[in-house]
Amino acid sequence: MAERNGLDIDGVRVDYGSQTVLHDLTLHVPVGVPATGAASATALLGPSGCGKSTLIRAIAGLETLHTGRIRFDGQDVSRVPPHRRDFGVVFQTGQLFESQTVSRNIAYGLRARRWSRRDIAARVDELLTLTRLTVLRDRPATALSGGQAQRVALARALAPRPRLLLLDEPLSALDRRLRDELAAEIRDILQATGTPTVLVTHDHSEAAAMADRIAVMRDGGIVQVLPPDELWRRPRDPWVAEFLGCTAIVDADVRDGLATTRFGALPVDRADGPVQLGLRPESLRVVAASGADPAGVLAEVIRVVSLPTGFRLRVRLVGVGATDGAGECTEVDAVADGPVGARVRVGLDAERVAVIGG
Ligand X SMILES: Nc1ncnc2c1ncn2[C@@H]1O[C@H](COP(=O)(O)OP(=O)(O)OP(=O)(O)O)[C@@H](O)[C@H]1O
Given the rule CB under 6 A, which residues bind ligand X?
16, 21, 46, 48-54, 202
- Rounded to the nearest whole angstrom, what is the least distance from the CB of residue 51 to ligand X in the complex? 4
- Rounded to the nearest whole angstrom, what is the least distance from the CB of residue 42 to ligand X in the complex? 15
Q: Which is nearer to ligand X, 11 or 257 (CB)?
A: 11
The answer to whether the CB of 311 falls within 8 A of the CB of 333 is no
Angle, CA of 46, 52 and 56, to the nearest 5°: 150
Distance CA 265, CA 147 (A): 46
Distance CA 66, CA 16 (A): 10
Length of the chain in terms of residues written? 358
If DSSP codes are grouped into helix, strand and coil, which group holds residue 93? coil
- Rounded to the nearest whole angstrom, what is the least distance from the CB of residue 233 to ligand X in the complex? 25
**Residue 65: alpha-carbon gap to chain centroid:** 25
- Rounded to the nearest whole angstrom, what is the least distance from the CB of residue 222 to ligand X in the complex? 12
- 302 Cβ partners below 8 Å, 6+ apart? 314, 315, 316, 331, 340
Q: Which is nearer to ligand X, 46 or 109 (CB)?
A: 46
Q: Which is nearer to ligand X, 25 or 284 (CB)?
A: 25
- Rounded to the nearest whole angstrom, what is the least distance from the CB of residue 20 to ligand X in the complex? 9
Q: Which is nearer to ligand X, 91 or 108 (CB)?
A: 91
Q: Which is nearer to ligand X, 23 or 352 (CB)?
A: 23
Q: Which is nearer to ligand X, 52 or 213 (CB)?
A: 52
- Rounded to the nearest whole angstrom, what is the least distance from the CB of residue 243 to ligand X in the complex? 12
If DSSP codes are grouped into helix, strand and coil, which group holds residue 178? helix
- Rounded to the nearest whole angstrom, what is the least distance from the CB of residue 146 to ligand X in the complex? 18
CA pseudo-torsion sign 237, 328, 47, 305: positive
Q: Which is nearer to ligand X, 61 or 296 (CB)?
A: 61
Element of type H or E holding 283: none
Strands, E assignment, the chain: 7-16, 19-29, 41-45, 67-72, 75-76, 87-90, 164-168, 197-201, 213-218, 221-226, 248-255, 258-261, 264-267, 273-279, 284-288, 297-307, 310-317, 331-335, 343-348, 354-355
Q: Which is nearer to ligand X, 140 or 221 (CB)?
A: 221
Distance CA 135, CA 152 (A): 12
Distance CA 229, CA 246 (A): 14
If DSSP codes are grouped into helix, strand and coil, which group holds residue 80? coil
Q: Which is nearer to ligand X, 45 or 275 (CB)?
A: 45
Distance CA 244, CA 283 (A): 13
- Rounded to the nearest whole angstrom, what is the least distance from the CB of residue 240 to ligand X in the complex? 16
- Rounded to the nearest whole angstrom, what is the least distance from the CB of residue 350 to ligand X in the complex? 34
